[in-house]
Structure 1
Amino acid sequence: MNYKHNKEEVIKKGMELFWTKGYHNLGVDEICRKTGMTKGAFYNSFKSKEQFLLTTIENYGNFIAEYLQNQLSDNKQKPFDRLLALYKKMLEAQTETNHMGCFVNNTMSELGTLNVSVASTTSEQFDKFLNVIEPTVREAQLNQELIDSIDSKLLTKTIHTTFFGILTTSKSTKTSGYSIMETIMHSLKK
């Protein structure tokens, strides 16, 4: 990385660009203009636009995993209530971000079937999210708050996949979609 450029800031700006424009609508020239990097510095640091995208996805995934962990660590609430509050907060935040959705979900939707590396990286991040959420789902099952007829890992995947679907719908309808998520969560109560 050229000494003039803060790598974290370049990655953050790149993520914002990919998030708002998508992969196919964003060129290296624009990335360089918006980050202040020269093409030489860009290619020296990231090798390709695809590699830069993968770096931004991993960075976002780490940030979200930490966010999820922080949101779910409030042991003052019951596990079910923590899950409900998490999804409510994330869905209601969509109105503040003009319904941008989740960067990982958006990238999965745009490139998941077209690019093996992107599919693998976004799947890894999705699994990372599940691994953070699953202990709270399991705790809710043990507390008799959620059904226990489904393995906690599968139940977590079902819940979070539903959340991703609601995010996708939320983008086009410009609504939070929380009432759908709340309905789904309550239908899984024991």
Structure 2
Amino acid sequence: MRKGVATREHIIQKSAELLNIQGYHGLSISDIMRETGLQKGSIYNHFQNKDEIVLEAFNYAVDIVKNHFENAVASQKSAYDQLLAIIRVYENVMEAPPFVGGCPVMNIAVDSDDTHAELAEQAQVALSSFMDLVYNVLQYGIETGEFKSDMDKRMISHFIITIIEGGVMISKLFHSNEYIQDNNKLLIDFIKQYICK
């Protein structure tokens, strides 16, 4: 890997971690300089401005989380086990989140919904991708005969993701996995009762 490419990736990685912990408004170029060990001129040699760094950093964080979800699904054969694997990605959000600072989509959605349209739009795209993953697992379960064919896949995929995101938010707020784990137990009951045949 060329030095310039490695430096750019280093800036993105460190900025992504800072962004997910401090938020868009709490993140400064000084913070990025401190974490990367680079001077401002070196950072701006790779990026035009803070917004460009933030957008790439957010997408980097989302890709890491997306890989966790996709690997969780790929590790299971049945649609039921795939759904459980999705639900359990954030089960230990306090000790072992897929990305430092919790869910980057939720963090940016809250941080930028009224203040940074482009970042909010990227969060919408990312969250839609996660909902699509759940939707596809539901469809797979219908095709394999595991799940009821008359369910509203769109509505249920939205429900599952919002329950997970809400659990992550409250667990982070109270510094306890209890909330996401309670949500997961109820989601599993919901899947058994309303989704499985």
The question of a shared fold, defined as TM-score above 0.5 by the shorter chain, is answered with yes
Q: Does residue 74 in structure 1 map to residue 75 in structure 2?
A: yes
Specify the alignment match of 1:7 in structure 2.
8
For 2:127 and 2:71, locate their aligned partners in 1 and report how far apart those are by CA, in whole Å: 17
* Shift, 1:2, TM fit: 7.4
Cα deviation, residue 83, structure 1: 1.4
The residue matched to 1:95 in structure 2 has which SS? coil
Residue identity opposite 1:122 in structure 2: A
What aligned pairs does 1:19-98 form with structure 2 within 5 A after superposition?
19-76=20-77, 78-97=78-97
Q: 1:186 aligns with which of 172, 189, 194?
A: 189
After superposing the two structures, state which structure 1 stretch, 83-92 or 22-31, moved more: 83-92
* Larger RCO, structure (CA 8 Å, separation 6 or more): 1
Q: Structure 2: where are the runs of 5+ without partners?
A: none
1:148 is displaced (CA, Å) by 4.3
Question: Following superposition of structure 1 onto structure 2, how do residues 98-117 of structure 1 map, counting pairs within 5 Å?
Answer: 100-117=101-118
- Aligned residues between the structures: 188
CA distance in 1, matches of 2:124, 2:72: 22
Deviating beyond 6 angstroms after TM superposition, the runs of 4 or more aligned structure 1 residues are none
| 3-state SS of paired residue (2:92) | helix
Matched AA of 2:94: Q
The 3 A distance-change label for structure 1 pair 185 and 40 is: same
Deviation of the 1:42 alpha carbon: 2.0
Report if the CA contact (8 A) 2:72-2:89 is conserved: no
TM-score (normalizing by structure 2): 0.82
Aligned to 1:157: 158
Q: SS at the partner of 1:94?
A: coil
Q: Distance in 2 between matches of 1:185 and 1:144?
A: 18
Report the TM-score when normalising by structure 1: 0.85
Cα pair distance change 1:33/1:100, threshold 3 Å:
closer
Inter-CA distance 85–66: structure 2 relative to 1 (3 Å threshold): closer
